[in-house]
Amino acid sequence: MAIVNASNLNYPILIAETIYQQIDWALHIAGQQVCIVTNEKVANLYLNDLKKTLNKFQCSEIILPDGEQYKNFDSLQKIFQHLIENYHQRSTTIIGLGGGVILDIAGFAAACYQRGVNFISVPTSLLAQVDASVGGKTAINFQQTKNMIGAFYQPQAVLIDPSVLQTLAEREFRSGIAEMIKHGFIADKDYFIWLEKNIDKILQRDLPTLKQAIATNCLIKSKIVQQDEKEKNLRAILNFGHTIGHAIEAESHYEILHGEAVAIGMMLELPLSMQHGLAAETAARLKNLLEQAGLPTALPVGMEVTQLAKWLRHDKKTDKNQSIKMPLLKAIGKAYLLNCTNFYL
């Protein structure tokens, strides 16, 4: 079992095949009650396996519809209703079983229910295993604006089984690679070079390669989060590609997946770095790797940058002077932040 050595995070990130059959749940679950939050697709695949390992606990589950469009108040309300109807007390533990959408909603429900109950993250998509499960950001979308209502709320544990990625749809799998590439590009040059060398094995879903990649991503992200949990400063470099990316997701009515939007967003945010001295050759390496991973690097036909302005104005990172802290790159692995006024507005 790989244990991500994130010494300042006060929760473990454990990575192994069939992880839930291997761990002693009692080490991570304080009370007797558990509520699994998942969605229809993931429930069909993995809910029974997970539930079997929890037979010593009083366990209930809530199964939400699948999709980013359900990352909303309605789903949150369904979870609260379920918790109340099933007499879940303050000592209960919520387990999020699913991709980033489920983890974001379930984590937020845990942060709010009875002023906060324990939360365990069981990410099942690549994007959730390399990114959304680590760092404690939880949220729902509101009035089409991404992640507008949420909380910073850390889990008790993150349990990652890379073998579940074998059932992930190809487009969803590639979407997760966008966040992996972003982590290397902004914070770890050696990892970026490793990705350039190993992208084919990753695309083939070679398990040892995936395990190594997931552990490296969790480590990169946790190191940044440890230094700035609530995104007062440094953590904002993780938003590279996300300011434009979130606008693209919303403008496409979530037809464009999160990782795809981030890939395009990185390419559209990159000229700012080049205006401040980033070598064209470095930008070309990012584009090349994204393309090798089968990710889009330009807006789809019919979508113009001007259509994105309305979303950028509502971005929660934009302040009252229409200024936004943008991540820029000096070189691969060397990101910094710059206050930009009227970025793309």
Ligand X SMILES: NC(=O)c1ccc[n+]([C@@H]2O[C@H](COP(=O)([O-])OP(=O)(O)OC[C@H]3O[C@@H](n4cnc5c(N)ncnc54)[C@H](O)[C@@H]3O)[C@@H](O)[C@H]2O)c1
Contacting residues toward ligand X, per CB under 6 A: 39, 41-42, 45, 66, 68, 71, 98-102, 104, 124-125, 127-128, 131-132, 135, 137, 146-147, 164, 167-168, 172, 175, 258
235 assigned to active site:
yes
Query: In b/e form, how buried is each residue of 98-136, taking b as 16+ CB within 10 angstroms?
Result: bbbbbbbbbbbbbbbbeeebbbbbbbbbbbbbbbbbbbb
Q: How far is the CB of 197 from ligand X (least distance, A)?
A: 25
Q: Are 289 and 196 in contact (CB under 8 A)?
A: yes
115 assigned to active site:
yes
Instruction: Give me the catalytic one of 137, 146, 183, 211.
Output: 137
304 assigned to active site:
no
Distance CA 33, CA 317 (A): 37
Give the residues across from 328 on adjacent strands.
Answer: 336
Q: How far is the CB of 87 from ligand X (least distance, A)?
A: 28
Q: How far is the CB of 94 from ligand X (least distance, A)?
A: 15
Q: How far is the CB of 32 from ligand X (least distance, A)?
A: 28
Residue number, 33 or 51, with CB nearest to ligand X:
51
Phi-psi map region of 333: left, alpha, beta (phi>0 left; psi -120 to 50 alpha)? left
Q: How far is the CB of 319 from ligand X (least distance, A)?
A: 21
Instruction: Give me the catalytic one of 146, 182, 183, 258.
Output: 258
Please count the helices (runs of H) and the strands (runs of E) in the chain: 13, 11
Instruction: Give me the catalytic one of 115, 197, 232, 320.
Output: 115
205 assigned to active site:
no
- In the structure encoding, which two tokens stand for residue 121, read together? 């993250």
Residue number, 119 or 282, with CB nearest to ligand X:
119
Q: How far is the CB of 77 from ligand X (least distance, A)?
A: 18
Q: Are 267 and 287 in contact (CB under 8 A)?
A: yes
Instruction: Give me the catalytic one of 28, 78, 88, 246.
Output: 246
28 assigned to active site:
no
179 assigned to active site:
yes
Specify burial of residue 323 (Cβ count, 10 A radius: 0-12, 13-18, 19+): middle
User: Whose CA is closest to 132, among 172, 171, 169?
Assistant: 172
Residue number, 248 or 278, with CB nearest to ligand X:
248
Beta-carbon count within 10 A of 303 CB: 16
260 assigned to active site:
no
Residue number, 103 or 199, with CB nearest to ligand X:
103
Amino acid identity, residue 324?
Answer: I
By beta carbon distance, the residue nearest ligand X is 100
Residue number, 98 or 184, with CB nearest to ligand X:
98
Q: Are 57 and 32 in contact (CB under 8 A)?
A: yes
Instruction: Give me the catalytic one of 68, 141, 239, 249.
Output: 239
Distance CA 213, CA 215 (A): 6
* Parallel/antiparallel/unpaired status of strands 157-160 and 118-123: parallel
258 assigned to active site:
yes
246 assigned to active site:
yes
Give the DSSP H/E element, type plus range, for residue 52.
Answer: helix 48-52
Residue number, 82 or 258, with CB nearest to ligand X:
258
Instruction: Give me the catalytic one of 61, 68, 179, 269.
Output: 179
285 assigned to active site:
no
Q: How far is the CB of 75 from ligand X (least distance, A)?
A: 12
Amino acid identity, residue 224?
Answer: I
Q: Are 135 and 121 in contact (CB under 8 A)?
A: no
Give catalytic residues, as residue numbers: 115, 137, 179, 221, 231, 235, 239, 242, 246, 258
